[in-house]
Amino acid sequence: MASALGIASPLCMYGTIPIAASFSKNGMKDDWLAAFMMSSILLNPQLIVYSAALGREALLIRIISSFVCGIMAGLLVRIFYKKKDFFNFKGFEEPKSRDTDPNILFRFLKNIGRNIKATGLFFLIGILLSALFQRYVPAEAMTVLFGGNEAFGVLMAATIGVPLYACGGGTIPLLQAWITDGMSMGSAAAFMITGPATKITNLGAVKIVLGMRRFLLYLVFTIIFAFGSGIAINILLQ
């Protein structure tokens, strides 16, 4: 249930952490919080709508893999951190709200403007990258790199997701072009896991509440889960 709630949450990670801190203060267990925060990082209702452009199969794979990833994160915290704290929310303070305009219409328009300012450039970059890939990168090259059921393709997708991912909406055109050019669903799944999980803003927020040691464990878990799920998906779709 915590993992499902994380997917349903429309908040970004900087909005999710104050809520998680409140949950923790009121007695919610760390394993439930881990499931909630992990799936919240990977997916949200807005990204689900964007991901529909990738097709029904890719959308379903994204939802299921994010849900399972949250569950796995919660289970690992339950097993290995049963008698000690996993999170430390003392270093994260809720940011001051900017929704202060007394006019609800103006407040709504200002929110839209801030969202466009925050994500618009990345979305345009994603469209540009997609156009460049479709125009100048041969389909055969993408098939060799990401296609088929080879573990190398999944590993490459999981690795590329770390530095390349900008924002959810911005990567949809890029993924769409890759899948069209022969990227396997397992490779796509790996990219869709490591991408948002290692997005710079998400990493900054996660590191604050985890500390360096548990932060490194988070990165290792993300890459291993992305690689494993990608391999499993390719095997199932053979």
Task: Kindly report the three-state secondary structure assignment for every residue of the chain.
Answer: CHHHHHHHCCCCHHHHHHHHHHHHHCCCCHHHHHHHHHHHHHCCHHHHHHHHHHCHHHHHHHHHHHHHHHHHHHHHHHHHCCCCCCCCHHHCCCCCCCCCCCCHHHHHHHHHHHHHHHHHHHHHHHHHHHHHHHHHCCHHHHHHHHCCCCHHHHHHHHHHHHHHCCCHHHHHHHHHHHHHCCCCHHHHHHHHHHHHHCCHHHHHHHHHHHHHHHHHHHHHHHHHHHHHHHHHHHHHCC
Average pLDDT, the chain: 84
pLDDT at 29: 94
Sign of CA dihedral 175, 38, 5, 94: negative
133 pLDDT more than 70: no
Per-residue pLDDT of 17-55, as tens digits, reads 888 888 888 889 999 999 999 999 999 999 999 999 999
Which of 29-51 are b and which e, b meaning 16 or more Cβ less than 10 Å from the residue's Cβ?
A: bbbbbbbbbbbbbbbbeebbebb
Percent of the chain with pLDDT over 70: 84
Confidence band, pLDDT 50/70/90 cuts, at residue 164:
low
Of 235 and 102, which is predicted with more confidence? Answer: 235
Per-residue pLDDT of 180-228, as tens digits, reads 878 889 999 998 998 888 887 778 778 888 989 999 999 999 999 999 9
pLDDT at 56: 94
At 142, list the tokens.
């993408």
Per-residue pLDDT of 85-131, as tens digits, reads 999 887 555 556 677 778 888 888 888 888 788 767 766 776 776 67
171 pLDDT more than 90: no
